């Protein structure tokens, strides 16, 4: 019999993030398709009762918690000790956890401590004929693999954004608190604060409906023989401000800064989409001034509906990569789009 543990950490306000509910959805779906299995919840954070209560209507049989000031910050030593203690208390054979920045660096170590195995970047969990399988993508999202394991405990990190978030409602959960005996060395690292870019400099928005991608064309000489980089910056930032889209880029555009050319200062390599960049998940994507080369468009794997604006009717987008290609001047198109958005906020 499998004991499926959904392992989550609370946020700074004591609540559960959407990523935790996504992993819970995967765990609950697995539990329902695996007769004889048991679903249990493990929570770690400063206080865990409110978080447990917020999902009390889920089909979990038991709740385990590790709480206290030692478990407030993301810190490998305390997080790994707490996670291992919860896994042992729950006698978990399968551990499903959201691959948040905090958990992703801890989960493989927890599997190692427990003599189990870990799989990362999992985008699907299923059971058939009593056998559990997980799926994940390989070779920069070009191939999907499905694998099973006999080793237990099996620690599974669920990629954020790959599941729908469970909507199980609140109630009253009885949390069994687990004591973790921490060595002094586990408290050696202290978190003294968080540094974040100002809100308007934060252009990467994983929860946005739309991914807006800029290509090198924005910095190229246009029909008048001149470049128009400041105008491009205004159009792009104007669109982002009104649409709240997430900003992506081609490699060529983010690389330009390294080549001493005029660039868009709000773009960094973190915005790069593609084979050597990110593979974000958004319902829609709009590419502008970008050619649509394969190493770029492989990063569009998880974009629902793809549209592109390019001057080149023979670009990669036209060759089957986009659902809709507008052969048009992106400067003119985005100026008109911004005007329409301003008129219909």
Q: Nearer Cβ to ligand FAD, position 208 or 309?
A: 309
Considering the complex, what minimum distance in angstroms separates the CB of residue 312 from ligand FAD? 4
Q: What is the DSSP letter of 91?
A: T
Considering the complex, what minimum distance in angstroms separates the CB of residue 338 from ligand FAD? 15
Q: How many residues bind ligand FAD (CB under 6 A)?
A: 30
Among 272, 279, 321, 337, binds ligand FAD (CB under 6 A): 272
274 is a site residue for ligand FAD (CB under 6 A): yes
Q: Contact, 266 vs 201, CB < 8 A?
A: yes
Quick one: angle between helices 229-243 and 330-343, nearest 10? 40
Q: Nearer Cβ to ligand FAD, position 160 or 292?
A: 292
The site map against ligand FAD for 286-305 (x = CB under 6 A) is: ---xxx-x-xx--x------
Residues β-bridged to residue 5: 40, 95
282: helix, strand or coil: strand
276 is a site residue for ligand FAD (CB under 6 A): yes
Among 23, 310, 322, 325, binds ligand FAD (CB under 6 A): 310
The rounded distance, in Å, linking the Cα atoms of 175 and 43 is: 9
CB-based burial label for 14 (10 Å; 0-12, 13-18, 19+): middle
The site map against ligand FAD for 211-250 (x = CB under 6 A) is: ----xxx--x-x---------------------------x
The rounded distance, in Å, linking the Cα atoms of 186 and 188 is: 6
For 54, 211, 219, 261, 265, the CA distances from 229, given in Å and listed in that order, are 49, 21, 5, 10, 10
Q: Which residues of this protein are in contact with ligand FAD, per CB under 6 A?
A: 215-217, 220, 222, 250-253, 272-277, 289-291, 293, 295-296, 299, 309-312, 315, 329-331
């Amino acid at each position: 019999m499998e004991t499926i543990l959904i392992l989550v950490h609370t946020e700074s306000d004591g609540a559960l993030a959407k990523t935790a509910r996504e992993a819970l959805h995967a765990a609950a779906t697995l539990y329902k398709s695996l007769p004889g299995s048991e679903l249990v919840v493990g929570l770690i954070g400063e206080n865990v009762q409110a978080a447990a209560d917020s999902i009390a209507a889920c089909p979990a049989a038991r709740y385990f918690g590790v709480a206290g000031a030692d478990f407030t910050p993301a810190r490998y030593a305390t997080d790994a000790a707490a996670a291992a203690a919860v896994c042992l208390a729950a006698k978990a054979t399968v551990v499903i956890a959201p691959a948040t920045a905090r958990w992703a660096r801890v989960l493989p170590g927890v599997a190692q401590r427990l003599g189990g195995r870990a799989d990362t970047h999992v985008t699907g969990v299923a059971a058939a004929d009593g056998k559990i399988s997980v799926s994940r993508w390989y070779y920069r999202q070009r191939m999907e693999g499905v694998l099973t394991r006999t080793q237990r405990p099996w620690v599974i990190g669920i990629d954020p954004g790959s599941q729908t978030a469970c909507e199980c409602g609140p109630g009253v959960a009885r949390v069994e608190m687990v004591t973790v005996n921490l060595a002094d060395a586990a408290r050696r690292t202290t978190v003294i604060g968080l540094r974040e870019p100002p809100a308007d400099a934060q252009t990467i928005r994983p929860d946005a409906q739309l991914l807006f991608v800029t290509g090198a064309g924005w910095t190229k000489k246009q029909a008048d023989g001149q470049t128009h980089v400041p105008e491009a910056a205004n159009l792009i930032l104007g669109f982002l401000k009104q649409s709240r889209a997430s900003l992506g880029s081609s490699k060529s555009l983010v690389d330009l800064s390294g080549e001493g050319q005029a660039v868009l200062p709000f773009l960094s390599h973190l915005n790069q989409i593609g084979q050597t960049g990110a593979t974000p998940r958004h319902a829609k994507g709009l590419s502008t001034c970008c050619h649509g080369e394969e190493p770029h468009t492989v990063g569009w794997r998880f974009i629902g509906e793809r549209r592109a604006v390019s001057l080149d009717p023979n670009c990669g987008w036209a060759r089957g990569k986009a659902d809709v290609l507008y052969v048009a001047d992106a400067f003119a198109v985005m100026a008109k789009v911004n005007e329409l958005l301003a008129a219909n906020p």
